[in-house]
Structure 1
Amino acid sequence: MSLVNTLIHHRTFEAVAEDGIPIAYEDLGHGMPLVLLHGLTESSESWHESGYVEQFLRRGRRLILIDCRGHGRSGKPHDPAAYSGRRLAADVAAVLDRAGLQHAALMGHSMGGVVALAAALYHPERVSALVCNGAHPFAEELAPFRAVLKNDFEAWLAFLTHLAPHLSQATCRRIRANDLAAVQATLAKDRSDFSAAFARLQVPVLAISGTLDPRCELVRNFAELAGGEFLPLADRNHVTAFLDVGTVASAVNDFLDRAGAQNKEAE
């Protein structure tokens, strides 16, 4: 049995966002807190299934796994205005408040990385370190995603399976179980450029990207802008860069140890 099953009692909670939307999260383990934010059409379960949870718990971290609004067990508003960067950032702050945490490190993949960036933008005092895999703060047009998710999740699953042919049946089930209107609402507005703020933020940053991900150069540029670290994953694309758990979790653990030491020196 895994460490998660034998040593950790799963504690599931719910925070209430500033606009009344319930935000579900898990609170696992003990130690320095790390918030995990999943990608589009996924849920916090992706961190369990992929193996990140066990890797991080073995390093003595307290994990806060959030189901982002519109996903998983959280509320699923259909109004695009409910998915602004400010609202998404406030969700993270609400969870930290509910968990009794003044600040935490944030790690997000893809959409979750954008949520982490928004939290660092609007609530920098709550963020002790920032890890983004396949995400950046530059402008991005979401029309291709709107097109592939126009009618159902089948074209989206075909796209993901092209990137990762061995996508698990559990992942496919989670994706098909989504509320389509809520997912469409998250994509209704293109992402604006908020990169200038990261030239001023004093937050340790680790930016990660597969070298086959079209976003790779933008992720690299973000790391340079923020004065952070960049980890390129050779021959990995947007999905397989998340699934390369051994490489990513090891690098993130080492980065968070360094960031923790820097933060202590700054106190």
Structure 2
Amino acid sequence: MSLVNTVTRHRTLKAVAEDGIFIAYEDLGRGEPLVLLHGATETSESWHEAGYVDRLLRRGRRLILIDCRGHGRSGKPYDPIAYSDRRRAADVVAVLDRAGVRNAALMGHSMGGVVALAAAVYHPDRISALVVNGAHPFAEDITFLRTTLKNDFEAWVGLLTQLAPGLSQAACRRIRANDIAAVQASLATDRLDFSATFAELGIPVLAISGTLDPRCQSVRNFAELAGGEFLALPGKNHVTALLDVETVAPVVDSFLERVGVQKTRQGG
């Protein structure tokens, strides 16, 4: 399944992060809040194009779509320190505070999944559930990403279109519209291991991975560590696992429904 080429524009809101960076977001629908966090070099519009927004809004959810720092309409600092796990986790909380939301479920893909996991580690009282696609909390060397994005976005776009030949021209334009210096700063540091926290955190987890994604085993291991659920997508890679909305969206919706019922029974 490919991204479509049309996007419905919605009003952009802004929160101010703890270090003064503006974080852009959209706030759509009513119901239990679900925060959507995109992958590296993408924006919140990717959730619209893939079809998640329409599907989840129809299921009666309130969706908060964040442009992660360094991307889209959010601020773009050039200092690698600005992209620490702690600061990116704080961005999520800043948006929740601005939106008047006490706690919410988070769903993230790739980099966005790592941000969601960091938010759960640093602010567990604000996170009701986690859905991560192609992401895990173990240490990871991202030299390959730094090398691919060393000069511009062309090698990266070429790689993505190999993984997902149906990738839309709109998605390619969004990627090329990034600030290369900001993206490079966001990738300057390898990802640290903060997995131990999840053994006792108790936040419901749904971990998703395509079986062709090199991260698949790590994502599975994370689900086991967290006592969560794991959805394997046969024949899907890191990109097409996100684009398989026909499979993923119903599973996410069912998971969040169960989490909500359990919370109600526990008096939460």
Name 2:155's counterpart in structure 1.
155
Name 1:46's counterpart in structure 2.
46
For 1:174 and 1:26, the matched residues in 2 are separated by 17
Give runs of aligned pairs for residues 9-24 of structure 1, distance below 5 A.
10-24=10-24
For 1:259 and 1:139, the matched residues in 2 are separated by 28
| 1:133-189 residue CA offsets vs partner (Å, 9 max, x unmatched) | 000000000100000000000000111111001110000000000000000011000
For 1:262 and 1:79, the matched residues in 2 are separated by 42
For 2:264 and 2:153, the matched residues in 1 are separated by 46
Look up the equivalent residue of 2:105 and give its one-letter code.
A
Give runs of aligned pairs for residues 235-250 of structure 1, distance below 5 A.
235-250=235-250
Name 2:3's counterpart in structure 1.
none
For 1:256 and 1:58, the matched residues in 2 are separated by 14
The ranges of structure 1 where at least 4 consecutive aligned residues each deviate by more than 6 angstroms after the TM superposition are: none
For 2:118 and 2:171, the matched residues in 1 are separated by 26
Q: Could you tell me whether the CA contact under 8 Å between 1:109 and 1:132 is conserved in 2?
A: yes
SS in 2 for 1:200: helix
Percent of residue pairs identical:
75
Name 2:4's counterpart in structure 1.
none
Look up the equivalent residue of 1:189 and give its one-letter code.
T
For 1:14 and 1:105, the matched residues in 2 are separated by 20
For 2:203 and 2:106, the matched residues in 1 are separated by 11
| 1:30-62 residue CA offsets vs partner (Å, 9 max, x unmatched) | 000000000000000000111100010010000
For 1:266 and 1:203, the matched residues in 2 are separated by 14
For 1:166 and 1:29, the matched residues in 2 are separated by 29
Q: Could you tell me whether the CA contact under 8 Å between 1:35 and 1:66 is conserved in 2?
A: yes
1:77 aligns with 2:77: yes
For 1:188 and 1:40, the matched residues in 2 are separated by 13
Give runs of aligned pairs for residues 1-267 of structure 1, distance below 5 A.
10-267=10-267
Give unmatched runs, 5+ long, in structure 1. none
SS in 1 for 2:166: coil
For 2:11 and 2:153, the matched residues in 1 are separated by 30
SS in 2 for 1:170: helix
Look up the equivalent residue of 2:139 and give its one-letter code.
A
Q: Could you tell me whether the CA contact under 8 Å between 1:90 and 1:119 is conserved in 2?
A: yes
Look up the equivalent residue of 1:62 and give its one-letter code.
R
- CA positional deviation for 1:247: 0.6
- CA positional deviation for 1:202: 1.3
- CA positional deviation for 1:265: 1.7
For 1:194 and 1:131, the matched residues in 2 are separated by 17
For 2:200 and 2:160, the matched residues in 1 are separated by 35
RCO (CA 8 Å, sep 6+): is it higher in 1 or 2? Answer: 2
- CA positional deviation for 1:213: 0.2
CA RMSD of aligned residues (A): 1.1
Q: Could you tell me whether the CA contact under 8 Å between 1:11 and 1:28 is conserved in 2?
A: no
- TM-score normalised by L of structure 1: 0.96
- CA positional deviation for 1:11: 3.9
SS in 2 for 1:129: strand
